[in-house]
Structure 1
């Protein structure tokens, strides 16, 4: 009964979420809270106890245990919101046939990986280990979100039928392939070249349905004749192994993990590239996919690339590509998907917060809505925000920790954003961007919902010759459209984003104010890190940039007073609101905000090969993975900051010298030096909260409200309400 009631609520919320809301603007400015303390509570049961005892105010994790869910629902001192964006996987190490240590890895074989889909009983996992608070899944697409539930349910159903639980078929395929690969079953145990094949499965201890579902999977493998070593790890313990070591080292064969959608995925086309290729994620486990993908799965590689690049013009073409990619992904199965999870996101009754239908209480939903209240009226005060783990990987704003709970702090809370997703339907509202005009090529299947953006169509969209189309890393200059495309070029999409007249009065946390140099710096680094002639070249980013350049046609700063930016691209989305490219200064896969002087500190250390922005480059060079907030990175970054201040250094001076004055540079360097002296870190932001302090041993971080944040604190409270049905 609990399962049915919860799923009905979720479905109704999803239907409502496909409609639009409207915003408001009220008096006042500043953050909603005086201080937010992030801390670690690994166990959901412990978190519920601490919520009940008043020791914490909010838990940033979806509770999937039916008993705990009922406790939360029955407690008058607690409240909760529902989310359906968490999902579970079993991931495989694809390196092989043997590791550097000589051990044979059966999961280098795609057919053995594919067979795991028949081996696992997903329905059993959901019922037995989640108490029905979830739904079995075979593809990465959320079962309640548009691509799976509305656009392509027929494809998903066919896949589910074909890969339905069939352990006999799984055993048959595994046996056939193991023998073909030269393995031998001796007394019920698989051997290779006379040695027992021992698998290592990293079982998450803190991520339902694991560890129980992980132990269940281990039992299935043992029944097939494998010896399995299966230690239980928290996410913080497992992450350095499966993402931080190279697959060839053989530290693991299997990882039972999970992902979450931070916002409602209105379009999933780009996600194939994230999960099945080397073109998005920088970790070695993804980078090694390039060779088998290109050699053995060209259809998946091509369809995935085309979907990410939106290399289609009709919904019929899109469906054909989804059909290819979904089926080929099942054959590739570098991971298999287990279930979506329905979760309760709990908090104290004197707290209000938006709960994203996909992402739950997370970034960015909590940042502009979470507050204390008395009799329904907002009040200030402090908040104790608990998460399951924290400080998993180093924090830097270019290619740092991608872990969900780290990003709850270091993305929007510190950094702000150009456009803001609505937690109820996933549509974007103008945030720092004031308005936008989107022009699409005639016939493109794009719709507009919210009135901050306009949408029109044109038979041809010609890119102006003086727009910036690429970057010459050797000469440190932009390449114009006229240079790159001497015969001219057209685009499928044009966006014109208008910022308010006072955008350059926007304060940064160190006393500086936003400048056009921050925007141009973001544009440059977007190109520069992927270019081999760049001092900060990163091989793990190269494929992503090259893929992006296949779609990118040009950017032009039309005006700086006010700031107006045109973008031309063949990358497009189904919603006009998402087609507005803001160029708000963000970096990396997860769009961390960064400003030219704080980014330069890290750039200088990366260029000197003393630290590296990415984990991949860190391993490649044998230097530290850069951390702006703690640890051994700080004295290195401090050295480069002081040297830059002494020289009044302007990065990329051949370009940025036009946008950053000597006076601005002097002010920025003085400000960040003072900020570092006061706070002991380099994370200068522009969001509603300042990173006051970090405490890695205690795994806590303290944020304080930014008194100069210019927006009304209750500006986004409309996101706390339900969407009206139309």
Structure 2
């Protein structure tokens, strides 16, 4: 929920009309906005077996965690249940590469880190720990990502595989080079001391613990002395992400990461997983900590994030280079991704099965509806309900906060669950001007930017700035949950905040958070100004361009996630070292990380608001723009909310926070049935039925002659939401490797609607079935690089309507 605001489509970063429900629908949606349910309860069920029974008997409506894998087949036969599969956790390792401590750290050596790719058996994890519900991975995207075909050549070239002997040889050689020997028990020692690996293992559930125990066992077999420590995300936030790596409180952490959103272009994943500047690598970009640094991958990923490329080819080459360096550096490694079975009651309709998040997403909860019941409370089970701070700056980093908070505070855009393209939610794009990577527009003389040094708004009157993109936006205003309207000044304050809190104006700058700044400060140079108009619209100017025009409008989005007065109060608390926005800053100062849902922090905000009233305080970015009466009304309104509700979580979304009871394991949201809220009930029903790729036949000859042309074909179509089959429009990436796993051919064929369409009539279904016959030709130059023996042909097929890949592998016999 970070306040980056502009270029929101890249960084978090934190996815209508027709539904058929059997039986009687007891709800009237007349004059309703937001979601179908009047209340949504998130209830902690840490025992998945109990949760399964609760959904089966109707006490729970849906469970947002995987059910025990041994119950999947039973669930499929249970008439009371519906089962959904989603991308689950990525199981991997975060290694501490610090070399600045008096104690030797083996993972400060790159070869040892990289060797773990060959030591850990990915198939064992998938087959024995995940019970087949997953796939082996060596990178963070996985085979269901639209980026998969772009990074696959890199993965193939690195030849990552399970080869424990190769791994042991690499590690033994590296240890020998630093003077390590093995004692009589086969344990590594250095200067007579055993070399110890401290491994923090997530034990939130049995699968995480099993993965960690397996990794620890393999590390111990190498000859290291292993110290295992168990803990949940809260403990990991303190020890791993919030401590100085040089203190070596940990050497290895068994990460389990939630899959990223399904987006067509996803440079954020390679950036977050590998680039130090993003703030998620060891050191967290806190200047008081030792830092892992890599200027090369920082430069590559910043070019990707900020669209500093001139073509699709250049962009994909940047992605491949960044991915290759990230894997080779091996500070963060990946081994398996789970495919988690989620369940809902069969009485629940309208769930939207997002290609990445599955049914655990905002649109799904808004569109969920019960049949044959007068109970309009949706009961959602989760394994946890609170594991980290709730704040909109550097909090809300866990899944549990993100899913709940997404219903409380709207975002300006959302990602289409099947195309991965940005669509407007609270910003309507009235006009977009963005022509080419060198085609600039003049920035309005009236546009403004915040100057944190002078504490003033500066206009463009004497600067003559230009920008690559101009977006005219009509914001979809409504009331805050506290009752006052969202207005221009809320947007203005959210625009001010990143300048103020990511710019270090002096050594003891009190309005600076280094962890936040590492992520936000590099974006500021791309923001060229915002110009507010009297008719309620505003223009944003951004130095970003993309060859895909669908991506451009989201670059200029602006939207607040909380009232400016709440932000102003928390600023004062952070400036006075009473609370902190980020976990690393909180750990350094020995104070709490701000959490708006906690009563004790809410009370601190309440007391600060009272002081602001007594001082007649007007924040610098609003001075000269607003009246004192307006300001005092804002403070008093938020005071009333906190007094009544016991929390400072004031949003502008379809639900408000009614009850936060972590001890009782319940978070209750109530519908914000306010006439100003602009999104009507059922607005996202069009996403219930996803599009689908229907491959009828793949015609690939068994033999391929070296140095001769080779042709094959694919017959396929695309199903729309009504089940009709339309011609294929999309891309086929084809990759050929030889018997030694060397990459020989990597190419792509893109088809539009006018090519290779074969219309045929399906007499059984009495419908027109339109398929495409896609013909692919390999020329003699391409096949001449093959060597005799078995080769592999991998096809990665995506459609324009849905870029989720469908993958097919074929074995070819190459012969002279």
Q: TM-score range by the shorter chain?
A: 0.7 to 0.9
RMSD: 2.8
**1:594 match: secondary structure:** coil
State the 1:680 CA deviation.
Answer: 0.7
Please give the alpha-carbon distance, in whole angstroms, between the structure 2 residues aligned to 1:710 and 1:648: 34
Equivalent residues of 2:421, 2:550 under 8 A apart: no
Structure 1 pair 460–554 and aligned structure 2 pair: CA distance change class (3 A): closer
CA distance in 2, matches of 1:89, 1:520: 40
Structure-1 residue corresponding to 2:420: 426
Structure 1 counterpart of 2:297: 300
Distance 1:21 1:253, change over 3 A: farther
1:74 aligns with 2:77: yes
Once the two structures are superposed, the pairs formed by residues 149-160 of structure 1 within 5 Å of their partners are 150-159=149-158
Alpha-carbon distance in 2 for matches of 1:430, 1:37? 27
Q: CA deviation at 1:127?
A: 1.5
Aligned mates of 2:48, 2:264 — CA distance in 1: 29
* Secondary structure of 1:231's aligned partner: strand
CA distance in 2, matches of 1:409, 1:491: 36
8 A contact 1:419–1:432 mirrored in 2: yes
State the Cα distance separating 1:659 from its structure 2 match.
4.4
Change in Cα spacing, 1:292 to 1:606, as seen in structure 2 (3 Å) is closer
Give per-residue Cα distances to partners, 1:563-607, cap 9 Å, x unaligned: 233232226474524532454434xxxxxx122111112111112
Match in the other structure for 1:600? 568
Residue 630 in structure 1 maps to residue 598 in structure 2: yes
Q: Distance in 2 between matches of 1:124 and 1:94?
A: 26
Q: How does 1:633-712 map to 2 (within 5 A)?
A: 633-652=601-620, 655-708=621-674, 709-712=677-680
Comparing 167-176 with 260-269, greater Cα deviation is found at: 260-269
Q: Which residue of 1 aligns with 2:144?
A: 144
2:695 aligns with: none
Are residues 207 and 262 of structure 1, via their aligned partners in 2, closer, same or farther at CA, if it must alter by over 3 Å?
A: farther
Deviation, 1:206, is: 3.3
Name the residue aligned to 2:63.
59
Change over 3 Å in CA distance of 1:344–1:707 after alignment to 2:
same
Tell me what 1:309 maps to: 306
Deviation at 1:58, TM superposition (A): 1.4
Q: How many angstroms does 1:114 deviate by? A: 0.8
2:391 corresponding residue in structure 1: 396
CA–CA separation in structure 2 for the residues paired with 1:176 and 1:341: 34
* TM-score, normalising length: structure 1: 0.85
Q: Which moved further from structure 2: 637-646 or 675-684?
A: 637-646
Deviation at 1:134, TM superposition (A): 1.3
Cα distance between partner residues in 2 of 1:21 and 1:513: 27
Distance 1:626 1:163 in 2: 42
1:612 and 1:472 map into 2 onto residues whose CA distance is 23
Q: C-alpha separation between the residues in 2 aligned to 1:192 and 1:199?
A: 13
Q: Secondary structure at the match of 2:612?
A: helix
How far apart in 1 are the matches of 2:668 and 2:282? 32
Q: CA deviation at 1:146?
A: 1.1
**1:236–1:320: structure 2 CA closer, same or farther, 3 Å change rule?**
same
Q: Does 2:380 correspond to 1:385?
A: yes
Structure 1 residues 243-254: aligned runs within 5 Å: 243-254=241-252
Residue 472 in structure 1 maps to residue 451 in structure 2: yes
Question: Does the alignment pair 1:460 with 2:440?
Answer: yes
**1:492 to partner: Cα distance:** 3.0
How much does 1:331 deviate?
1.6
Larger relative contact order, structure 1 or 2 (CA cutoff 8 Å, min sep 6): 1
Contact 1:82 1:360 in 2 (8 A): yes
Distance 1:374 1:658, change over 3 A: farther
Distance in 2, matches of 1:658 and 1:370, equals 46
Distance 1:480 1:261, change over 3 A: farther
Higher mean alpha-carbon deviation, 311-320 vs 199-208, is at 199-208
Tell me if the contact between 1:32 and 1:371 (Cα under 8 Å) persists in the aligned partners.
yes
- Take 2:199 and 2:663, find their aligned partners in 1: how far apart are those partners? 28
Counterpart position of 1:335? 332
Provide the rounded CA distance (Å) in 2 between the counterparts of 1:40 and 1:374.
26
Structure 2 counterpart of 1:39: 43
Please name the residue that 1:16 is paired with.
Answer: none
Taking structure 1 as reference, are residues 248 and 623 closer, same or farther at Cα in structure 2, changes over 3 Å only? same
CA distance in 2, matches of 1:481, 1:68: 63
Residues 417 and 373 of structure 1: is their aligned pair in 2 closer, same or farther, counting only changes over 3 Å?
A: farther
Structure 2 CA distance for aligned equivalents of residues 381 and 67 of structure 1: 32
Cα distance in structure 2, aligned partners of 1:282 and 1:637: 29
Q: CA deviation at 1:476?
A: 1.2
Q: For 1:530, which of 502, 517, 540 is the aligned residue?
A: 502
- 1:298, distance to aligned residue in structure 2 (A): 3.7
Question: Which structure 1 segments of 5+ residues have no match?
Answer: 1-19, 445-457, 587-592
1:213 aligns with 2:189: no
Which has the higher mean CA deviation after the structures are superposed, 249-258 or 564-573? 564-573
**1:426: Cα distance to partner?**
2.2
Residue number among 542, 546, 550 corresponding to 2:521 in the alignment: 546
The answer to whether the 8 A contact 1:271-1:308 is kept is no
Q: Deviations over 1:173-198 (max 9, x none)?
A: 11121222333221210123322122
**For structure 1, which segment, 302-311 or 113-122, has the greater mean C-alpha deviation from structure 2 after superposition?**
302-311
Distance 2:670 2:156 in 1: 48
Tell me how far 1:283 sits from its aligned partner.
Answer: 7.7
In the alignment, structure 1 residue 499 sits paired with structure 2 residue 467: no
Deviation at 1:152, TM superposition (A): 3.9
Given candidates 548, 552, 556, the residue that maps to 2:530 is: 556
Against the structure 1 CA distance between its residues 612 and 529, is the aligned structure 2 distance closer, same or farther, given a 3 Å change threshold?
Answer: same
Whole-angstrom CA distance in 2 between matches of 1:673 and 1:276? 42
With 667-676 and 223-232 compared, the bigger mean Cα shift is at 223-232
Aligned partners of 2:479 and 2:485 also within 8 Å: yes
The alignment partner of 1:117 has SS state of helix
Q: Give the Cα separation in 1 of the matches to 2:626 and 2:70.
A: 58
Over 3 Å counting, the alpha-carbon distance change for 1:438 and 1:62 in structure 2 is farther
How big is the shift at 1:85?
Answer: 5.3
Q: SS of 1:676's equivalent?
A: helix
Deviation at 1:240, TM superposition (A): 3.2
Q: Residues of 2 paired with 1:71 and 1:234: CA distance?
A: 30
Which residue is equivalent to 2:697? none
> Within 2, Cα distance between the matches of 1:573 and 1:89?
34
CA distance in 1, matches of 2:573, 2:160: 49
Provide the rounded CA distance (Å) in 2 between the counterparts of 1:209 and 1:578.
40
Report if aligned partners of 2:238, 2:583 keep a CA contact under 8 Å in 1: no
Instruction: Render the CA deviation track for 1:407-427: whole Å, top value 9, x for unaligned.
Output: 1112x2111122222223322
CA pair 508-275 structure 1, distance change in 2 beyond 3 A: same
- Classify 1:424/1:80 alpha carbon distance in 2 versus 1 (closer, same or farther; 3 Å): farther
Distance 1:384 1:340 in 2: 28
- Given the superposition, is the C-alpha separation of residues 656 and 292 from structure 1 closer, same or farther in structure 2, using an over 3 Å criterion? closer
Instruction: State how far apart, in whole Å, the 2-side matches of 1:539 and 1:233 are.
Output: 26
1:570 correspondence with 2:565: no
The CA deviation at 1:617 is 2.0
Contact 2:430 2:471 in 1 (8 A): yes
> Which residue in 2 is equivalent to 1:173?
170
Residue 620 of structure 1 aligns with which residue?
588
Asked if the contact 2:467/2:542 (under 8 Å) is kept, the reply is yes
Aligned mates of 2:107, 2:18 — CA distance in 1: 50
Aligned length: 663
Structure 2: distance between partners of 1:518 and 1:22:
32
1:458-497 Cα deviation digits (max 9, x unpaired): 84333334433x53213212344456xx4x4433333222
Cα displacement (A) at 1:642? 0.9
Residues of 2 paired with 1:661 and 1:278: CA distance? 43
Determine the structure 2 residue equivalent to 1:514: 486
Distance 1:251 1:390, change over 3 A: farther
The structure in which a higher percent of residues are strand is 2
For the residues of structure 1 that align with 2:316 and 2:614, how far apart are their CA atoms? 57
